């Protein structure tokens, strides 16, 4: 018989731990305890009943569960089987709690010989943990720990790494059969599984940073994180399919609402959709955390491994001692020293830098680029339309001035608001008009030749030159905001009269 013996004991520690979870139940079975009628009480059953009791409390989010609550539950479920009073029920509850969580506060342990590694090891596990306490009544409350949940799931032939996937399959079957109450129960179990997995990932984050001391350990954690990520990815896809299935079911049910029974079924389906969306959001957040874990925590682990190497590396011993104690050739010495030498650096200035884009900065070092309104050659068709609008604005401005020759832009805008031309304030061309005038100010109407804005200014000249000789626009400090879209600095427009009317 020729095969690899090492493969037989793969994950031997995990197998021992799963078997060790049942040892508290076996210890309870050995207890010789009788009820008031002399009948022997099966403490193994009491242990399993206790696990299911705390599992139900975790599902329903009941946090205040201690020995007294467990005793009342035991009396209720065994009233047709055993004869007991409050004192005996409290003793049973206390014995079970002690078996799952010793009063010493130490975790349960299992010493075994690991045939995979060849050494004797100890594994620790915890079935119950303390949740909170009431100091006034001196009472301690408990809840299922992660190992306790694993023990409960093992009674239903659940595998811990596939708890959510199995729950999703069961939920799909229940939804197809229309068992919405059972579906709500299944969703509650899924939410608890998601919370447990979230705690596991949180512990894994801390464990990765704390325990990575070699490349082999880093690779093992990397494979573990990738497995978790792929499983969450598959589960997230299944959640999307379930959400779509529930949505389609609601659409179908909405078309058959006739009797009260139909409305009850529809409301149950709505509750299922609400609960499923809540669990989906929690799981999707967990999926994003796994991505972050895969990206950032492993990087931090590599950095920790690097710093560990730096701390354990002795330069004098590894490099200097080797060079001085052995007659290395020159070439070998260069190769030995090369990783510890910096690359040559030289700061030079290129003459072509004078042609680079220059930055204009103020005293605070902030860039203040100056932008000017320009009209390019490819806007010829648009310029012809703008020229017509400039002509209309100029004519309206002169009419509004009457016998006056000076007006502020803010006052002119106020006049426009009162006329039919208030729509001008919503157009970009209106503000382009004032920007062009301000850039070319002062404008002498008799000397407009060869300017870049001649096509636009010419219409202004043609309107004004019969009565006025020049136009000057002076910028003021105030900023005008005619509407939420545009803002422009206030200006003073002044025309020089050629002759009086």
**pLDDT tens string 373-409:** 444 444 444 667 777 888 888 888 888 777 778 888 8
Q: Is residue 397 domain-resident?
A: yes
Residues 234 and 99 in one domain: no
Structural domain count, the chain: 3
Q: Does 14 share its domain with 147? A: yes
Q: 165 and 144 share a domain?
A: no
pLDDT of residue 159: 45
| Cα torsion through 405, 408, 412, 414, rounded to 10 | -140
Query: How far is 50 from 210, CA to CA, in rounded Å?
Result: 36
Spatial CB neighbours of 150, under 8 Å, sequence gap ≥ 6? 18, 21, 160
Q: How far is CA 493 from CA 417, 454, 473, 475, in A?
A: 18, 20, 5, 9
Q: Give yes or no: residues 48 and 133 share one domain.
A: yes
Tokens of 457: 């200014």
Residue among 410, 399, 405 nearest 434 (CA):
410
Answer whether residue 376 is part of any domain: no
The domain in which residue 120 lies consists of 5-154
User: Does a structural domain hold residue 320?
Assistant: no
**How far apart (Å, rounded) are the C-alpha atoms in residues 388 and 376?**
18
Residue 136 inside a domain? The answer is yes
Nearest to 110 by CA among 189, 202, 229, 23: 23
pLDDT (0 to 100) of residue 378 = 43
Phi, psi of 274 (to 5 degrees): -65, -45
- The CA distance from 377 to 356, in Å, is 26
Do 39 and 70 reside in the same domain of the chain? yes
CB-based contact 436:467 (threshold 8 Å): no
CB 489 within 8 A of CB 463: no
Same domain, 125 and 50: yes
Q: Measured between alpha carbons, how far is 236 from 225 in angstroms, rounded to an integer?
A: 16
Determine the 3-state secondary structure of 31 from DSSP.
coil
Q: Are 33 and 77 members of one domain?
A: yes
Which residues, in sequence order, are bridge partners of residue 129? 143
Q: What is the DSSP letter of 294?
A: I
354 in a structural domain: no
Domain end (from 292, 309, 326): 309
Residue 315 lies in a domain: no
In angstroms, the CA 403 to CA 426 distance is 28
The residues, any chain, with a CB within 8 Å of residue 337's CB and separated by 6 or more, are 319
DSSP assignment string, 232-274: HHHHHHHHHHHHHHHHHHHHHHHTT--SHHHHHHHHHHHHHHH
From 50, 37, 47, 149, select the one nearest 83 (Cα to Cα): 37
**What does the pLDDT look like over 118-151, one tens digit per residue?**
899 999 988 998 888 888 888 888 888 888 877 8
Distance CA 171, CA 276 (A): 10
What is the pLDDT at residue 239? Answer: 85
**Residue 178: other Cβ atoms inside 10 A:** 13
CB 430 within 8 A of CB 500: no
Structural domain includes residue 100: yes
Burial of 70 from C-beta contacts in 10 A (0-12 / 13-18 / 19+)? buried
Residue 178 has a pLDDT of 81
> What is the rounded CA–CA span in Å between residue 498 and residue 191?
86
pLDDT at site 358:
67
DSSP helix/strand/coil, 364: coil
Question: Among residues 257, 292, 309, which one ends one of the domains?
Answer: 309
CA distance 308 to 302: 10
Distance CA 471, CA 468 (A): 8
End-to-end CA distance of the chain: 124
Same domain, 219 and 305: yes
Tabulate helix, strand, coil % of the chain (nearest 5).
Answer: 60, 10, 25
- Provide the H-helix boundaries in 38-179: 43-59, 67-77, 86-100, 146-154, 163-177
CA-CA distance, 168 to 162, in Å (whole number)?
10
Q: Do 385 and 426 have their domain in common?
A: yes
Residues 47 and 103 in one domain: yes
Q: Which of 108, 139, 154 is the last residue of a domain?
A: 154
pLDDT at 367: 52
For residue 356, how many other CB atoms are within 10 A of its CB?
Answer: 8
171/300 same-domain check: yes
The whole model's pTM is what? 0.41
Residue pair 463/391 in contact by the 8 Å Cβ criterion: yes
Same domain, 278 and 194: yes
Task: Report the alpha-carbon distance of residue 216 to residue 223 in Å, rounded.
Answer: 11
The rounded distance, in Å, linking the Cα atoms of 329 and 14 is: 53
My answer on whether omega of the bond before 442 falls inside 30° of 0, hence cis, is: yes
Alpha-carbon distances, residue 225 vs 139, 163, 190, 208, 210 (angstroms): 40, 17, 21, 10, 15
Q: Which residues of the chain have pLDDT under 70?
A: 1-7, 59, 156-163, 208-218, 296-298, 300-302, 304-315, 318, 358-383, 447-456, 498-501
Question: Is residue 347 in a domain?
Answer: no
Please report the pLDDT score of residue 478 as a whole number: 85
């Amino acid at each position: 018989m020729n095969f690899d013996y090492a493969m037989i004991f793969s994950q031997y520690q995990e197998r021992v731990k799963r078997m060790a979870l049942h040892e508290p139940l076996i210890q309870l079975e050995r207890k010789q305890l009788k009820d008031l009628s002399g009948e022997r009480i099966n403490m193994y059953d009491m242990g399993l009943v206790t696990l299911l009791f705390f599992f139900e409390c975790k599902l329903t989010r009941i946090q205040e569960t201690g020995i007294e609550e467990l005793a009342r539950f035991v009396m209720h479920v065994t009233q047709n089987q055993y004869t007991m009073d409050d004192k005996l029920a409290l003793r049973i509850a206390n014995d079970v709690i002690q078996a799952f969580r010793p009063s010493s506060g130490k975790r349960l342990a299992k010493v075994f010989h690991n045939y995979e590694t060849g050494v004797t090891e100890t594994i620790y596990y915890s079935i119950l943990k303390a949740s909170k306490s009431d100091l006034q009544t001196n009472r301690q409350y408990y809840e299922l720990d992660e190992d306790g949940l694993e023990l409960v799931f093992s009674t239903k032939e659940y595998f811990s790494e596939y708890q959510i996937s199995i729950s999703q399959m069961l939920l799909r079957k229940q939804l197809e059969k229309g068992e919405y109450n059972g579906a709500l129960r299944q969703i509650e179990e899924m939410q608890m599984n998601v919370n447990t997995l979230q705690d596991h990932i949180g512990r894994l984050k801390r464990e990765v940073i704390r325990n990575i001391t070699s490349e082999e350990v880093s690779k093992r954690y990397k494979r573990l994180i990738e497995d978790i990520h792929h499983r969450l990815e598959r589960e997230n896809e299944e959640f999307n399919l379930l959400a779509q299935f529930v949505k389609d079911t609601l659409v179908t049910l909405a078309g058959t609402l006739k009797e009260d029974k139909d409305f009850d079924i529809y409301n149950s389906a709505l509750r299922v959709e609400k609960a499923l969306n809540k669990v989906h959001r929690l799981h999707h957040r967990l999926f994003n955390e796994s991505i972050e874990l895969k990206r950032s925590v492993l990087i931090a682990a590599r950095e920790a491994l690097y710093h560990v190497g730096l701390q354990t590396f002795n330069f004098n011993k590894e490099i200097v001692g080797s060079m001085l104690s052995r007659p290395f050739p020159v070439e070998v010495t260069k190769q030995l020293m090369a990783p510890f030498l910096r690359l040559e650096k030289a700061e030079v200035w290129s003459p072509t830098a004078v042609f680079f884009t220059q930055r204009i900065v103020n005293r605070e070092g902030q860039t203040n680029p100056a932008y000017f309104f320009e009209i390019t050659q490819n806007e010829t068709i648009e310029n012809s339309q703008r020229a017509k609008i400039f002509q209309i604005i100029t004519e309206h401005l002169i009419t509004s001035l009457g016998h006056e020759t000076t007006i502020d832009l803010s006052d002119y805008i106020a006049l426009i608001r009162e006329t039919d031309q208030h729509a001008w304030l919503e157009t970009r061309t209106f503000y382009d008009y004032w920007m062009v005038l301000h850039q070319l100010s002062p404008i002498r109407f008799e000397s407009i030749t060869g300017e870049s804005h001649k096509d636009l200014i010419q219409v202004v000249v043609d309107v004004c030159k019969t009565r006025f000789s020049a136009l000057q626009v002076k910028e003021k400090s105030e900023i005008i905001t005619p509407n939420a879209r545009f803002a422009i600095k206030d200006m003073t427009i002044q025309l020089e009269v050629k002759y009086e009317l």
